[in-house]
Amino acid sequence: MRVTTMARPAAAVLLAAATLFTTAGAATAASPSPAVSGGEDGAPTEAGTTFRTATPVKQGQKATASASTGDYLYWQFPAGAGQRATAEATVQLPEAATRHGGATWQLDVFDGLRRRQACASGEPTKRALRQDTTVKVTCTLRTVRPWADRWANDPLPGAYYVRLTVSDVPDQDLGLPVKAELRADAEDAGGAHAEGGEVAPLHAAAVAEPESGWNGGWWSARWAWTVGGAVLGALAAIGGYKLTRHPHRAARQQ
């Protein structure tokens, strides 16, 4: 009876532990990450048609998609504080013999709050002539800030949406097949663009966190200037102390 009494609490503990791990495993399996069709290298081969279905793309990864002229194509990529992001889309146009005129292609970039972000450089809108085989549109955003005022439209850390559209196209050309490639890169602006602050990334659940983190790495040019200034200040203090101390030693020796 004594052995049985001691075994019961132990069995209860083991049963509770087994239930806990089983529940955790089931919870993990119940919330899988979004599935995206990809090629052999894992790069996406489809694009979304709305903000909600935007296809996630990693920094430096080339995504492709087959679509029809007139479709709205959406992707999303991550960008952290201190980074300057560039989105570039190349469209392979239908054969010239099947087209009835030119078309204007446009690349728009939105932040996690779906606010359209201005392009600091690049050519986000371009007219493709009837004889052209490809057209390329690019947009380089302003440097992502770690924080901003509520009224400001500054780019903040998190997901960024890319929308590729066509306009001013002959009605007869709508529906013709096209192939699109998108690449989103981000470089560390650093230097004068480094600043303190931290904010939760905007709508970042579906995209991978940048290697330097959402709020940038801990080291920046500001740290270099701060440490360098402190070292120079310490050396100047030591030098001044020695210069002011030596004359008194000489006077006492005399």
pLDDT one-digit tens code per residue, 3-60? 344 444 444 433 443 443 333 333 333 333 334 456 556 899 999 999 999 999 999 9
Length of the chain: 254
Contacts 24+ apart (CB under 8 A), 197-201: 197/81, 197/145, 197/146, 197/147, 198/81, 198/146, 198/147, 199/146, 199/147, 199/148, 199/156, 199/157, 201/78, 201/80, 201/112, 201/156, 201/157, 201/158, 201/159
- In this predicted structure, the answer to whether residue 180 has a pLDDT above a threshold of 80 is yes
Q: Which helix (H) or strand (E) holds 183?
A: strand 177-188
* 55-215: CATH, from 2.60.120, 2.40.160, 3.30.420, 1.10.3470: 2.60.120
pLDDT of residue 7: 42
Q: What is the pLDDT of residues 125-175, one digit of tens each?
A: 999 999 999 999 999 999 999 888 767 889 999 999 999 999 999 999 999
pLDDT of residue 38: 61
Q: Which long-range contacts (CB under 8 A, 24 or more apart) does 236-245 make?
A: none
Contact 145, 81 (CB under 8 A): yes
pLDDT at 143: 96
Lowest mean pLDDT among 34-43, 64-73, 90-99: 34-43
Predicted pLDDT at 222: 47
34: CB partners within 8 A, 6+ apart: 56, 206
